[in-house]
Amino acid sequence: MNYLYYISFIFYILLSFKKVFTEDINVYEKDDFLSSLNKNENIIINNSIHLNQTIEIPSHISTICISGKDNLSYLIFGNEENSFHFIFNNQKKVVISNLNIVGHLSFIGNNNIILKRVNVTGSIQTSKMEGNALTISESNIFITNEENTPYENGIYLMKGKNQIINTNITCSFYNKLKNLLYFSGNNDDTLNIISSIFNGKNSTSGIKVTNRNINIESSKFIDLYSPTEGITMNKLFFENNMAENMGGSIYLENNYDVNGNNLEGYNIYAGYTGGFINIKSHNINNNHDFLNITVKNDWNVKKSTGSGLILRYEENCANLYSHITLKNVYGSDFYCNNSPCSIFRTSGNTELDIENVNINNVHGTTSGIFFESFVETNSESYYEDLVKVKKPIVIYQTYINNH
């Protein structure tokens, strides 16, 4: 009997403990919201709350859950003329769902962040992340144009395992951003992007990934633009992308192993090199494998420019080698009005395997249509390019105008 009583008592204590940490707090105004942040409980936003200040969650709060009651639930930290933040410090878990947020979200040293069905008007910045760092799903991120914003990237992810699923990321038409998203980390850090849309509004580049592992599936990159360098992979669709310098659609820098499959680009332009895919490598050996690539431009626009209209690769270290595989490639309607017009371009110590390529309708000036190798050397360095061509290569209706 005493034994059953003891078990019942322990069960009651456990239920009571669970209740303490899962009780719902309904919040209707600013003061209620501020006081609720000191408790490990579920905070439910019932209306539009104007905060007009930066708020920081202290590190002694290990878990925080904030959700909205309906689509009229708002946390408003400021407006487009200021840079108020919602800052999270070293929480083990942060869950924000069914909520509209106006302001910047900053996560410092957090372990598990979940943003689900959230509309953010502002930016998302992370640093010193660990474990399953950030998951954004079924959300809309609108990155605003603020005169006083200190950020160059709308979403900045530093370290951890990150996911973006079924999410739309866009920005204001005029802005100071370099990239919609920038991801940087170490050997074990990852970024998965699935069924999402990135829209640069013809004023911002898309994704830049440095030194890390990425996987992008069934996503779209639309109206991306960069005054310097473009963006940085199963079933990807790119349309109307333009970079004044390099990499109209995909810009990759210092990535060890990159695999791309089923990549489609329509109306992709870069002012200098790397119209569709631009790759730069410094001080690392790497492999880039791209399968099933389609790039089609508008012949009548006559904006295809420069070298490496489908791929441009640059290796700047004489002691290292890079390997690139291109298989099942189709390209058409590249009209370079007053410039060279090569489809593939490499420089440095590069081994390029090309298999099953079909190129149609190319117009260029003074340079090779299919492949161009460009090497810069000095007295202490030696570079070489090795190109292997396998299986059928079809080049149809090409023209070089030598003035």
Q: Specify which of 73-82, 123-132, 311-320 reaches the highest per-range mean pLDDT.
A: 123-132
Between 7-21, 34-48, 223-237, 287-301, the lowest mean confidence (pLDDT) is in 7-21
User: At residue 296, what is the residue type?
Assistant: K
For residue 12, give the H/E element and its range.
Answer: helix 2-22
Tokens of 187: 């050997």
Q: Could you count the other beta carbons within 10 Å of the beta carbon of residue 60?
A: 10
Q: Quickly state the pLDDT bin for 341 (edges 50, 70, 90).
A: confident
Burial class (CB in 10 A: 0-12, 13-18, 19+), 13: exposed
169, pLDDT greater than 90? yes
What pLDDT, on the 0 to 100 scale, is given for residue 286?
76
Between 1-10, 40-49, 330-339, 365-374, the lowest mean confidence (pLDDT) is in 1-10
Q: pLDDT tens, 377-386?
A: 443 444 455 5
Average pLDDT (188-195) is 87
**pTM > 0.85: yes or no:** no
256, pLDDT greater than 70? no
How many angstroms from the chain centroid is the CA of residue 323? 24
3-state helix/strand/coil string of 32-93 = HHHHHCCCCCEEEECCEEECCCCEEECCCCCEEEEEECCCCCEEECCCCCCCCEEEEECCCE
3-state class (DSSP) for residue 376: coil
What pLDDT, on the 0 to 100 scale, is given for residue 22?
57
Q: Quickly state the pLDDT bin for 403 (edges 50, 70, 90).
A: very low
Q: pLDDT tens, 69-114?
A: 999 999 999 865 666 899 999 999 999 999 999 999 999 998 899 9
Residue 207 near residue 183, CB atoms below 8 Å: yes
| Euclidean distance between CA atoms 150 and 167, whole angstroms | 24
Dihedral angle of Cα 238, 240, 246, 250, to the nearest 10 degrees: -10
317, pLDDT greater than 70? no
Q: Specify which of 80-89, 189-198, 207-216, 243-252 reaches the highest per-range mean pLDDT.
A: 189-198
Backbone angles phi, psi at 108, to 5 degrees: -120, 115
Q: Quickly state the pLDDT bin for 181 (edges 50, 70, 90).
A: very high
| Euclidean distance between CA atoms 270 and 233, whole angstroms | 21
Q: Could you count the other beta carbons within 10 Å of the beta carbon of residue 379?
A: 4
User: At residue 21, what is the residue type?
Assistant: F
400, pLDDT greater than 50? no
Q: Quickly state the pLDDT bin for 387 (edges 50, 70, 90).
A: low
